[in-house]
Structure 1
Amino acid sequence: MLPDTPSVSQLSQVISQAAAPAFLLGALAAFIAVLISRLNRIIDRSIYLNQISDQDQARCRLKADLPRLARRATMINRAIFWSIIGSISISIVIVVGFVSAFFHIQHERGVAILFIVSVVAFIVSLVDFAREVRIALSELDHYG
């Protein structure tokens, strides 16, 4: 048997509590878009460098950049992974808030843990992103 539906005031409270996680979810979505854009640029550059013939002595030296691009792609891939983990956990926070209001369940500890997981995943993602940017800026591209 289903419990009584939540009152308008309960739903209003849950919606107001879901606002902060929703903003974090929006920030994570925008951050993932930035990461994917950077990954696409790295992949495009790698494809371009791989198409250079070994007989082309003038441009063959540019292939020395491939290992660095592979490291950058790995870091961006990890950053995307952790951003998605953060997005999933923050989405679960929002769902748990509404489900717990519907079933009149205490949810504070679970929501707090999920929120911490989400923020930690976001921090790990930011660290990977910072490492990738550092590699991108510290070792000059061999454009020619």
Structure 2
Amino acid sequence: MAVDFEVVTISHAIQQAVAPVFLLAGIGGILNVLTNRLARIIDRSRNLHHRLETVSEERRLVILDELAMLTRRARVVHRAIGFSTTSALLVCVVIAMLFLGAVMSWNSSAAVALLFVFAMCFLIAALTGFLREIQLATRIMLNGP
């Protein structure tokens, strides 16, 4: 009978720990978008750096302005990636604590709640950074070159 209780306890712990896994999948999707945006920024920057050697002085100034904007965008995306990754790591710790708390009959509710709130704060910061980068990217289209 003790074995059945342990199986029930472990299966309940797994059920509790699986719910935040969906959040991890969402954060993974956000990280994918952010890393793709960063890769495009880097590719565009490399392209412009190669073109700098062969353009006129007037065009050179325009390219340098665009490179400055790309640098700003890359910094914003880099921070957003850091915030997203931190959020994902905190969710992983939440999952581990939920599982360990259930298996070891340990009341981890306060720690889990605090870690979850921190994870959401980091996710909010990441999404805010994503929005800021989108604004910077579309500013060029709206204001012209």
Instruction: Work out whether residues 18 and 94 of structure 1, in 8 Å CA contact, stay in contact via their aligned partners in 2.
Output: yes
Greater helix content: 2
Gaps of 5+ in 1: none
Q: Deviations over 1:42-100 (max 9, x none)?
A: 00000111111345228533332011000000000000000000000000011111222
Superposition deviation, residue 17 in structure 1 = 1.4
1:1-144 to 2 correspondences below 5 Å: 7-57=6-56, 59-60=59-60, 61-140=62-141, 142=145
Aligned-pair CA distance for 1:35: 0.3
Conservation of the 8 A alpha-carbon contact between 2:90 and 2:116: yes
Q: Deviations over 1:98-143 (max 9, x none)?
A: 222232211111111111111111010000000000110122374x
Contact 1:86/1:117 (<8 A) preserved: yes
Structure 2 spans left out of the alignment, 5+ residues = none
Bigger mean CA offset, 16-25 vs 30-39: 16-25
Q: TM-score, normalised by structure 1?
A: 0.87
Instruction: Report the alpha carbon displacement of residue 14 of structure 1 after superposing the two structures with TM.
Output: 1.6
Stretches of 4+ aligned residues off by more than 6 angstroms: none
- Which amino acid is the alignment partner of residue 56 of structure 1? V
In 1, the alpha carbon distance for the partners of 2:33 and 2:4 equals 41
Retained in 1: the 8 A contact 2:16–2:99? no
Aligned-pair RMSD on alpha carbons?
2.0
CA 1:69 to 1:6, structure 2 compared with 1: closer, same or farther past 3 Å?
A: farther
Report how many residues are paired: 139
